[in-house]
C-alpha cells in the first residue's frame, strides 16, 4: 500500500534545514520542523526521524 511508503523532504538553507515526511496521498507523517546545520541540529533531526519511523508500520 502506497500510504506506508512516505517521503522525507528536506529544505536546505545555509544555517538550518526544514524536515517533513508525507505519504504519496499527502498525509502528514512528520510535521515540518527546523534544525540547525550543526552536529547537534543534525542529531536532533535524525532523532526525530527515528522516533517517527518506530511509530510507522511498514509492510511489504
Tens place of pLDDT per residue across the chain (60 aa): 455 677 889 999 999 999 998 877 888 888 999 999 999 999 999 999 888 877 766 545
Q: Is residue 49 part of a domain?
A: no
Q: Model-level pTM?
A: 0.75
Q: What is the DSSP letter of 24?
A: T
- Burial of 58: CB neighbours in 10 Å, binned 0-12, 13-18, 19+: exposed
How many CB atoms within 10 Å of residue 6?
Answer: 20
Nearest to 32 by CA among 18, 43, 45: 18
Q: Is residue 43 part of a domain?
A: no
Instruction: State the residue range of the domain holding 17.
Output: 1-38
Q: Is residue 53 part of a domain?
A: no
Q: Is residue 6 part of a domain?
A: yes
Indicate the number of domains in the chain.
1
Q: Is residue 28 part of a domain?
A: yes
Task: Looking at 1-60, list the stretches that DSSP marks H as alpha helix, in order from N- to C-terminal side.
Answer: 39-55
Amino acid at each position: 500500500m502506497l500510504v506506508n511508503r512516505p517521503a522525507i523532504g528536506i529544505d536546505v538553507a545555509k544555517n538550518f534545514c526544514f524536515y517533513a515526511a508525507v505519504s504519496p496521498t499527502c498525509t502528514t507523517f512528520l510535521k515540518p520542523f527546523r534544525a540547525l546545520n550543526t552536529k547537534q541540529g543534525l542529531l536532533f533531526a535524525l532523532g526525530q526521524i527515528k522516533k517517527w519511523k518506530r511509530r510507522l508500520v511498514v509492510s511489504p
